[in-house]
Chain A
């Protein structure tokens, strides 16, 4: 049973560029949440996708957008990258909107130069 998988694991971008991160949820899960984790901090909620719609959004600018596909996989897009976007981006999957235990992927480490 595959867990949550994310790609790429590491990437380096320059300011102003755009990035797309991908996530496949754990088998049987239909809800995907994205978190940003800066070094030494806890994960910060970006948004949640369920039934291919953004259901909840945290305090992140519109430069952060996402998508969920019919197979429940998801993408996180960040436009006009800033140095402060450097972080570990975690995808977490769960079953339904009443989020119980979250299953996290290993994350995508983004470095913006």
Chain B
């Protein structure tokens, strides 16, 4: 099975930087995703890491260390609209050649003025 752990809630100030951590334990690791989910809406894709290192995409960056089972999502220049739940999802190989992403419970980020 898989175990994914991320903080339940974080708060930050508009314009600041916030780092959301995710630790995982899994066999057959095949990539890690971050999704953003605003209240009452569907999750939307933010980033994907399969190799160690940092992936940067605008204000958002994601880091992966496979040996440590650790990832973080870095949000810069926070805006009020960044208030949302951030879901860490680990993809692992399954039988039949399928790869199923398993989601953590999500981190609720509250950005205040």
Contacts and interface: CB of A to CB of B under 8 A. Distances in A.
Interface residues on B, range: 20 to 34
B60 interface: no
Interface of B: 4, 33, 35, 41-45, 48, 87, 89, 91, 94-106
A83 interface: no
B95 to A, nearest CB: 8
Given A99-B91, A104-B44, A105-B42, A41 B96 contact: no
Contacts of B105: 40-42
Interface residues of A, number: 26
A102 B96 contact: no
B106 A56 contact: no
A106 interface: yes
Interface of B is mostly: strand
A68 interface: no
A100 interface: yes
A101 B43 CA distance: 11
Contacts of B106: 41-42
B100 A102 contact: no
Interface of A: 4, 33, 35, 40-45, 48, 50, 55-56, 58, 90, 97-107
B11 to A, nearest CB: 17
Contacts of A58: 100
B101 A99 contact: yes
B87 A42 contact: yes
Task: Please give me the 5 A-B residue pairs with the lowest Cβ-Cβ distance, nearest first.
Answer: A42-B103, A104-B42, A42-B105, A97-B98, A101-B45
